[in-house]
Chains A and B, each alone.
Chain A
Amino acid sequence: MADPRATLDLKRQPGFGPVAWFCLFMLYAPIAVLFVFSFNAGRSVNNWSGFSLDWYVKAFHNEGIQDAAWISLQVAFAATLAATILATAAALATTRTRPWAGQTGAYLVINLPLMVPEIVTAIATLSFFALIASLSGIRFGLGTLIITHTVFCIPFAYLPIRARLEGMDLTLEQAAADLYATPWQAFRRVTLPLLAPGISAGAALAFIVSFDDFTISQFVAGPGQQTLPIYIYGAIRRGVTPEVNAISTILLMISILFVSASFLIGRRRQ
């Protein structure tokens, strides 16, 4: 019997269930395996020999991991801060000004890092800093990583901030101006508070993109600048133990935490 509600309801198409379950399985099964074996008592990552938290304890006491985590955190915090401020400024400049020539161009340039293959960015950045070093002798130390991360974090911070700005009623700022607020006061008292959820969401995304980055960091990082992903990569080459699973699980949890935070903050208040 024809159900009048059935029009174009994907859920009612034949084969929807199996396809959906297959996709979910492919997405999450590997992660589930990784997660489960991080609790293995033995050294194997494919042979279960009982539950234990030993590998987590071990990972926490591993100095290599501690150092790498510290580097990752420093870089992620600094890059997030810089990228979020720049992205906010860029979002304001591309939505809150009179239309200017090259506005579309600016929008493209800001989002370019999303399109450029990571490996290209990595090699380009590496040669660029090498060139600066050979020409002027200036080395930036950890600054190299921070600057590089800032650049590719900008579009991730920019997009939610811009979306929030575009959804904001322009007459609110005009009402503030009508009520004697100078442009700066209107920004401080009206635009910024209303923009805050977008900024938080953008910052959370930027943080996690920086914290998880491997390809670019691998190329750009100097000696003694191992980030957590680089450390994990190195550890695997020395042999896979459930310790790697444990760190990866922690990394995954941090990611989930930040992405959910970004999502929830972005959704809060409309």
Chain B
Amino acid sequence: MAESAAVEARSVTKTFGVAPDLVRALDDVSVAIEENEFFTLLGPSGCGKTTLLRLIAGLELPNSGDILLAGRSVVHLPPHERPVNTVFQSYALFPHMSVAQNIAFGLEMRGLARDEIARTVGEMLTLVKMQGLDARRPGQLSGGQQQRVALARALANHPKVLLLDEPLSALDLKLRQGMRGELKSLQRRTGITFVFVTHDQEEALTMSDRIAVMDRGRVQQLGTPLDIYERPVNKFVADFIGDTNFLEATALGEEGGFVRCRCAGGFELLVGGIPPAPGATVTVALRPEKIVLHPGGAHGTVTQAVYVGTDTNYVVQLSVKTDLGVRVQNAVDGRARFAVGEHVGIEVPPGAARLLKD
């Protein structure tokens, strides 16, 4: 038998409230998170990310389904008996305790020896670069410092699994970007399994080993960042991760492992995905940066050009009803390559576009 997953949810369903106001926060969710993995739950607000985390921590009970840690069912265990620790969305630092007391809390509860607690607290303060601030109260710390204390408090217990609920969302952009790298390297160094919740797709793509994209209580897609970005399985995932054009197209037939499709404006492209019946109408997802524009073509007309630094975002009108977003790198001197009103041809490399289920 294969080694059991660090964390596993099996067909977990969780509802809140009763009949007319019933909320299905999790609907038959199954995920298996491997040991040493940086696993991310990604999805829009209200999709059930926090709920899944709370079920793993034991702060919430599932209506049905099972939660396993290292292959052992833990649904019957209260939170204080589960070998996981949480970094809460709001940090939840104890306001009446100093930084050091906060970090020592879990160790004291487990009845560790005084000198061992002191040593671990010292290590943790060093780890999160908070030496010298051990006597401060949480109220006297900045948001970033509180975040570090929350992290140290959880890590002090050397958990097998660390649950992090949007730990970076309260920080400003610069600090957030710095902390991404720190968290990632911390996870590599310690080998702790991270279950990381975020609604920020960039955060998810840059930090994770694997991502579960969630929507309305269901896992929509589970895969590596590359999988999720390059091969979204449905419209929700394609739309939620990055910018995407959705084009109505007619399938013409198979060709060299791809499907040839004709879009509005008359241009044809080879898309990846399971071939539908020839003549079927399909939806094609196409990333703006994968499209090549040629001057003087006849597929469409540039109607908008927005300068965004390295690139320019164009809107190309293909037909009265169909617009296409295209992102093109600017020329070396920084000037945009196309002008509004210019007629352009469109080329899409084979396989750059994907066929979508609904």
Q: In the complex the two chains form, what is the Cα distance from A180 to B106 in whole Å? A: 6
Q: In the complex the two chains form, what is the Cα distance from A70 to B166 in whole Å? A: 59
Q: If the complex has contacts A171-B88, A171-B90, are A179 and B96 also in contact, measured as CB distance less than 8 A?
A: no
Q: For B106, B109, B154, which residue has the most chain A Cβ atoms within 10 angstroms?
A: B109
Q: In the complex the two chains form, what is the Cα distance from A169 to B95 in whole Å? A: 10
Cβ-based interface call for B267 (8 A) = no
Contact A193 B96 (CB under 8 A): yes
Cβ-based interface call for B86 (8 A) = yes
Contact A169 B92 (CB under 8 A): yes
Cβ-based interface call for B110 (8 A) = yes
Contact A190 B94 (CB under 8 A): yes
8 Å CB contact of A172 from B92, B110, B154: B92
When C-beta atoms are compared, the residue in chain A nearest to B150 turns out to be A175
Measured between beta carbons, the chain A residues less than 8 angstroms from B153 are 179
Cβ-based interface call for A251 (8 A) = no
Q: In the complex the two chains form, what is the Cα distance from A193 to B80 in whole Å? A: 20
Q: In the complex the two chains form, what is the Cα distance from A172 to B150 in whole Å? A: 12
Q: Distance in Å from the Cβ of A195 to the closest Cβ of chain B? A: 10
Q: Distance in Å from the Cβ of A183 to the closest Cβ of chain B? A: 8
Contact B88 A185 (CB under 8 A): no
Measured between beta carbons, the chain B residues less than 8 angstroms from A194 are 95-96
Q: If the complex has contacts A180-B157, A193-B96, are A175 and B86 also in contact, measured as CB distance less than 8 A?
A: yes
Q: Distance in Å from the Cβ of B97 to the closest Cβ of chain A? A: 9
8 Å CB contact of A180 from B59, B80, B92, B94: B80
Contact B57 A178 (CB under 8 A): yes
Q: For B80, B86, B90, B96, which residue has the most chain A Cβ atoms within 10 angstroms?
A: B80
Cβ-based interface call for A176 (8 A) = yes
When C-beta atoms are compared, the residue in chain A nearest to B106 turns out to be A179
Q: If the complex has contacts A179-B85, A179-B153, are A174 and B79 also in contact, measured as CB distance less than 8 A?
A: yes
When C-beta atoms are compared, the residue in chain B nearest to A194 turns out to be B96
Cβ-based interface call for A41 (8 A) = no
Interface of chain A residues 149 through 185 with chain B (CB within 8 A): 169, 171-172, 174-183, 185
When C-beta atoms are compared, the residue in chain B nearest to A190 turns out to be B94
Cβ-based interface call for B309 (8 A) = no
Q: In the complex the two chains form, what is the Cα distance from A139 to B117 in whole Å? A: 56
Measured between beta carbons, the chain B residues less than 8 angstroms from A179 are 80, 85, 105-106, 109, 153-154, 157
Measured between beta carbons, the chain B residues less than 8 angstroms from A190 are 94
Contact A172 B157 (CB under 8 A): no
When C-beta atoms are compared, the residue in chain A nearest to B83 turns out to be A180
Contact A180 B109 (CB under 8 A): yes
When C-beta atoms are compared, the residue in chain B nearest to A185 turns out to be B109
Contact B80 A172 (CB under 8 A): no
Q: In the complex the two chains form, what is the Cα distance from A172 to B97 in whole Å? A: 12
Q: A178-B85, A179-B105, A181-B80 are in contact. List 16 more A-B contacts (CB 8 A).
A: A169-B90, A172-B95, A174-B88, A175-B93, A177-B79, A179-B80, A179-B154, A180-B80, A180-B81, A180-B106, A180-B109, A182-B109, A183-B78, A183-B80, A185-B109, A189-B105
> What are 17 of the A-B contact pairs (CB < 8 Å)?
A171-B90, A172-B94, A172-B95, A175-B88, A175-B92, A176-B105, A177-B58, A178-B59, A178-B79, A178-B85, A180-B80, A180-B109, A181-B109, A185-B109, A193-B96, A194-B96, A269-B95
Interface positions of B (Cβ within 8 A of A): 57-59, 78-81, 84-86, 88, 90, 92-96, 105-106, 109-110, 153-154, 157
